[in-house]
Amino acid sequence: MKPTPTLLLAATMTLSIAPVQAAPPDWSKVSGRTVTLFYPGVSPLEWVTKGTEHGGARAMRKGETCASCHDGEAADMGKKMASGQKLEPAPIKGKAGSIPVNVQAANDGANLYLRFSWKQPAGGAPKMDADNQVKLAFMLEDNKIEGANLSGCWEACHADVRTMPSAKDDKKTKYVKGASLATGKYYDLLQWTSKGVKHDGHVADKRVVDGGKLLLDAKGEKKGDEWVVTFTRKLSGGGEGDIALAPGKTYNFGFAIHDDHASGRFHHVSLGYTLGIDAKADISAAKQ
């Protein structure tokens, strides 16, 4: 049976309107930056900004960033907190103090690509999240949350959220004081889990794990003792809680890894950095 002209035309039209899949860059040609994630213990924003307990509070009031003071000592801080020497009332035996992560970024004019790679540290802690050996999340902020340019994601970390020692509500999640989608004061949140689930959400007056529409893909794998996780995200468009990214601009950026089946506050976190789209920043996503 020969195809009719109508069938041939329909097939041609189907091919012509098929969506073009985003192609990741050649990562061997993309420079990276090593960011040391550290175990933060119980160090919420309230502790960070309280001058009687944290000496850096005065520097922050002068406009100095957490990274400018602590970037080179993140591993030492994490070691102290993971061991219970400082800011951790319930230390976990075998908890790694820090995780060095290589971060790479690129864009193709339509999409942002992020790649995170690190070696699996020693573990053996009780499995808080039995379904996920690893989770990785990052947050972006469009320079509208006061303090986000200094403290990174700490503006969403408070002493009264669930799993904190002083928490009274076991359902209270991360939040930003005075934030809302209407004002643009919020974090765009994306997450990959080793179970294979991915989330595109945001953090404003509470954490919402889904609702965004810019995440095209998030995938990860472990080869030997190394994890590699990549995200593909549209630069603009989207839905609830999505931040549009534009060439020439920089955004506040931070990320966290829940390692060794960890959950809640028992993660490893980065300090606050900047992500630039075709712009100079701590981590630059140049067009490939």
Reported as a pLDDT band with limits 50, 70 and 90, residue 124 is confident
Per-residue pLDDT for 15 more than 70?
A: no
Give the C-alpha separation, 204 to 183, whole Å.
10
Cα 269 to Cα 279: distance, rounded to the nearest angstrom:
24
**Predicted confidence band at 23 (pLDDT cuts at 50, 70, 90)?**
confident
Q: Which two tokens stand for residue 77?
A: 């801080």
Percent of the chain, pLDDT > 70?
93
Higher pLDDT, 269 or 18: 269
Domain spans of the chain, in order of start? 30-287
Determine whether 84 is exposed, middle or buried from the number of CB atoms within 10 Å of its CB (0-12, 13-18, 19+).
middle
pLDDT greater than 80 at residue 22? no
pLDDT the model gives residue 9: 46
Confidence at residue 3, expressed as pLDDT on a 0 to 100 scale:
52
Report, as an integer, the average pLDDT of 243-263.
98
- Rounded Cα–Cα distance for residues 214 and 200 (Å): 7
Reported as a single tens digit per residue, the pLDDT across 192-243 is: 999 999 999 999 999 999 999 999 999 999 999 999 999 999 999 989 999 9
Q: How confident is the model at residue 8 (pLDDT cuts 50, 70, 90)?
A: very low
Residue with tokens 């100095």: 64
The pLDDT score that the predictor gives to residue 11 is 45
User: What are the φ and ψ backbone dihedral angles of 75, each rounded to 5 degrees?
Assistant: -65, -40
* pLDDT at residue 136 greater than cutoff 90: yes
Query: Taking the model in full, what pTM does it have?
Result: 0.92
Q: Distance between CA atoms of 225 and 212, rounded to whole angstroms?
A: 32
- Please give the Cα distance from 124 to 92 (Å, whole number): 9
pLDDT(36) > 90: yes
Residue 119 has pLDDT above 70, yes or no: yes
Mean pLDDT, residues 108-131 taken together: 95
Q: Which class for 103: exposed (0-12), middle (13-18), buried (19 or more C-beta within 10 A)?
A: buried
Instruction: Name residue, tokens 């998030």.
Output: 218
Look at residue 33 in the predicted model and tell me its pLDDT. Answer: 98
How far, in whole angstroms, is CA 108 from its chain's centroid?
21
* CATH fold group of domain 30-287: Immunoglobulin-like (2.60.40)
Kindly indicate the confidence band of residue 132, based on its pLDDT and cuts at 50, 70 and 90. very high
* Percent of the chain predicted with pLDDT > 90: 89
**What integer is the mean pLDDT of 14-43?**
82
